Amino acid sequence: MSDVLEHSVVEYKSGEKPTWCPGCGDFGVLNAVYNALAAKGYNSKDVVCVSGIGCSSRLPYFMATYGFHTIHGRAMPVATGIRVANPDLKVLAFGGDGDAFAIGAGHFVHAVRRNLDITYVIMDNSIYGLTKGQTSPTSGFGFVSKSTPNGAIDRPLNPLMLAITAGATFVARAYSGKPKELADLIVQGIDHRGFSVIHVFSPCPTFNKVNTFKSYRDEVAAVPADHDPANKVAALALANSDEPLYTGLLLRETGVMTFEDALGRFHVGDETNRRQVIDAMLRKYS
């Protein structure tokens, strides 16, 4: 506890002024990240923030940690490389609904199934804000935007169901209007051994007049107190709910080997050890 008290929120601020529009939900996410890192008591030099492209992906600029602002949709490959090259670093990835679920969707799915030991915070505003207001993968059916003036005809993607069915071992949802709850989920995600997905409703006040702070206040509800996050079927049911939209920890699966651990065991030159790892995986997933 004494080590935690030595670190304050100020230590994680880069001094760069956030460039988001006034009222953007991403301010709440940034505040939650600061508080989560302060709660963990990390030194800034031991943390790497990786992002893709989009409004939310500017976040590493506002952090005093190491950072890597990658190209569009490529946060996961870079985060993978960092974790494998230096497992002592704590890797946090950040992105939006477009970066994570459109051009980066393939990378997302495979990072999930590898069970990388990283925490991925995805800020979902259901629109492409950086490019001035086009429909995104999570925009609702019928959503009117510059790219869909007659209304979107694609059904929206469900990020939580995608994460759970792809094999994520920690899946949670938050709302940027409640940064304290989000900070707690980020701490839990960091503490989890495996791939942690934290999906965040983060309204865009400039280009999305449908999914607003007011609408989310009416739509979100906490995961039921009696929910067992080890129950994947129950987690899927909560993820599939439209009324209400549940926030909190939906799924946590423990005891699953991380990609980094499996990689180390497969490259020690011990055929017996490799066979044991394969047999253990076959027993779990067959």
**Interval 155-209: pLDDT, tens:** 999 999 999 999 999 999 999 999 999 999 999 999 999 999 999 999 999 999 9
User: Does residue 1 have a pLDDT over 60?
Assistant: no
User: Does residue 268 have a pLDDT over 60?
Assistant: no
Residue 7: per-residue pLDDT = 80
Structure tokens at 152: 């979107």
- For range 24-30, the mean pLDDT: 98
Q: Where in the chain is the domain with CATH 3.40.50.970?
A: 2-255
Residue 3: per-residue pLDDT = 42
**Interval 86-135: pLDDT, tens:** 999 999 999 999 999 999 999 999 999 999 999 999 999 999 999 999 99
Residue 157: per-residue pLDDT = 97
* Tokens 């599939």, residue located: 240
% of the chain exceeding 70 in pLDDT = 91
More confident residue, 120 or 268: 120
The strand ranges marked E within 66-150 are 66-69, 90-96, 119-124
Q: Which CATH number fits domain 2-255: 3.40.50.720, 3.50.50.60, 3.40.50.970, 3.30.450.40?
A: 3.40.50.970
Residue 10: per-residue pLDDT = 94
- For range 263-270, the mean pLDDT: 63
User: Does residue 282 have a pLDDT over 60?
Assistant: yes
Angle at 130 between CA 129 and CA 132, to 5 degrees: 65
CA distance 236 to 50: 28
**Interval 219-250: pLDDT, tens:** 999 999 999 999 999 999 999 999 999 999 99
**Interval 41-67: pLDDT, tens:** 999 999 999 999 999 999 999 999 999
Residue 280: per-residue pLDDT = 67
User: Does residue 4 have a pLDDT over 50?
Assistant: no
DSSP labels for 249-269? EEEE--SPPPHHHHHHHHTSS
CA distance 8 to 18: 19
Residue 166: per-residue pLDDT = 96
Kindly report which listed range (8-22, 113-127, 149-163, 268-282) carries the lowest average pLDDT score.
268-282
**Interval 62-88: pLDDT, tens:** 999 999 999 999 999 999 999 999 999
